[in-house]
């Protein structure tokens, strides 16, 4: 008997985001050996990254070591490394730290920021996809207030107290609402030379409305809510350049010390690794079972995959979609391992859209039901606490939210690196 027939199938998962981690945990009882390979040693709960960026939470509240998550799963191991290429012929993943052979491969490497051909803007306008991004934005925001306290020139003080957010999707809306709350409610009594309430938070969107993926009535409610909070919303406005002192718009120049990019994403290099056909955003075009055409042993899931729903619309790049894909692929792999018939084609079940605007304010689309205000905000809080990993994190985040709601205090306002010059 061949040696390969005696050993269990080797499943390698590249990326420990929502999709990759779901595949790993769903294979806990399968007759396979699982290897999770990631360039970071932690899993990050990305929907709450903006709260790290605005000093509501610390990174440890929304990130967990992958090894800890999988510590009780005997058929799983975790490796740290950045993938350079995939050898499809010999079925090997080549990383900077090791080479890992596989029988089944799952690529769940996510997305990064897209500057639409202007990658040089990244230095001046960081995006928000990683813990490192969140801490950079938090540092720049806090340093801006500190520099403004020292500034004698009124024009320079105004520039330092101007925060520009490019892109009015959920991330942009959440950042705008959180930053204006910091300026209006958290900071006012802590400075003597400046009044943080004079800060300008400007949300810039190239399209005609904020939250373009939401129904128009929820989009309009969001805009009105932001403007009541003090956010300046600029729609139908394109950014033509970003630099260290602000942004150039089609209608003129906006001087701003802090610029945050929330306007677009592009898939990881997974498509290039395997030479697969990709869409315009770099997402791998997969079969109905999420495998790569011509390579049934290779699956691509989450934001890295281009998947169509039954009506032809794309599956959105959100956490629930990645988790559903992960559960489906785990089922396919487990079925193959036990010699059973794999499940039918993947079908995405949309669970609704939700975005928070600020304290006691959010928008929610759930089927035919649209909710706004306090009820939607409470639903948002419960949903996000539920999906956090571990009781400790759920309790810690819930307590911090209650404390912040009652006191307007934010305890994560630490400047740990002052290299940024703003």
Would you please indicate which residues are annotated as catalytic (active-site) residues? 174
| Contact criterion met (CB below 8 Å) for 30 and 334 | yes
User: Pairing mode, if any, of strands 104-107 and 295-300?
Assistant: parallel
| Contact criterion met (CB below 8 Å) for 167 and 259 | no
Q: CA nearest 349: which of 376, 310, 384, 301?
A: 310
| Contact criterion met (CB below 8 Å) for 376 and 170 | no
**What tokens were used for 315?**
């599956």
The torsion defined by the Cα of 185, 191, 193 and 198, in degrees rounded to 10, comes to: -10
**What tokens were used for 166?**
């490019």
CA distance 202 to 181: 13
Q: CA nearest 362: which of 350, 351, 385, 378?
A: 378
**What tokens were used for 336?**
């193959």
């Amino acid at each position: 008997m061949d040696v390969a027939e005696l050993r269990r199938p080797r499943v390698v998962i590249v990326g420990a985001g929502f999709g990759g981690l779901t595949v790993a945990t769903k294979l806990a009882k399968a007759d396979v050996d699982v290897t999770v390979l990631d360039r970071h040693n932690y899993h990050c709960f990305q929907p709450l990254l903006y709260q790290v960026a605005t000093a509501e939470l610390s990174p440890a509240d929304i990130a967990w070591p992958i090894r800890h998550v999988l510590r009780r799963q005997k058929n799983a191991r975790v490796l740290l490394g950045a993938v350079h290429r995939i050898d499809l012929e010999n079925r090997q993943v080549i990383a900077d730290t090791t080479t890992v052979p596989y029988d089944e491969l799952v690529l769940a490497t996510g997305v990064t920021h897209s500057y639409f051909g202007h990658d040089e803007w990244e230095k001046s306008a960081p995006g928000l996809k990683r813990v490192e991004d969140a801490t950079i934005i938090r540092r720049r925001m806090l340093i801006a207030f500190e520099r403004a306290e020292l500034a004698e020139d009124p024009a320079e003080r105004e520039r330092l107290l101007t925060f520009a957010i490019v892109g009015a999707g959920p991330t942009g809306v959440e950042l705008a609402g959180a930053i204006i709350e910091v300026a209006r409610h958290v900071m006012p009594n802590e400075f003597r030379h400046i009044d943080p309430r004079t800060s300008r938070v400007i949300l810039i969107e190239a399209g005609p409305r904020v939250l373009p993926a939401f129904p128009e009535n929820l989009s309009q409610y969001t805009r009105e809510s932001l403007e009541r909070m003090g956010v300046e919303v600029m729609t139908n406005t394109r950014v033509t350049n970003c630099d260290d002192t602000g942004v150039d718009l089609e209608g003129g120049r906006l001087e701003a010390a802090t610029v945050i990019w929330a306007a677009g994403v592009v898939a990881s290099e997974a498509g290039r690794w395997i030479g697969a056909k990709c869409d315009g955003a770099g997402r791998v075009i997969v079969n109905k079972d999420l495998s790569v055409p011509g390579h049934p042993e290779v699956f691509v899931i989450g934001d890295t995959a281009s998947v169509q729903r039954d009506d032809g619309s794309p599956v959105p790049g959100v956490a629930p979609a990645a988790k559903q894909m992960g559960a489906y692929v785990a089922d396919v792999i487990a079925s193959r391992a036990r010699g059973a018939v794999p499940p039918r084609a993947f079908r995405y079940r949309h669970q609704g859209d939700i975005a928070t605007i600020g304290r006691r304010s959010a928008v929610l689309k759930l089927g035919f039901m649209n909710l706004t205000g306090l009820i939607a905000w409470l639903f948002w809080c419960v949903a996000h606490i539920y999906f956090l990993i571990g009781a400790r994190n759920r309790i810690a985040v819930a307590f911090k939210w209650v404390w912040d709601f009652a006191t307007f205090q934010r305890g994560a306002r630490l400047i740990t690196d002052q290299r940024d010059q703003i």
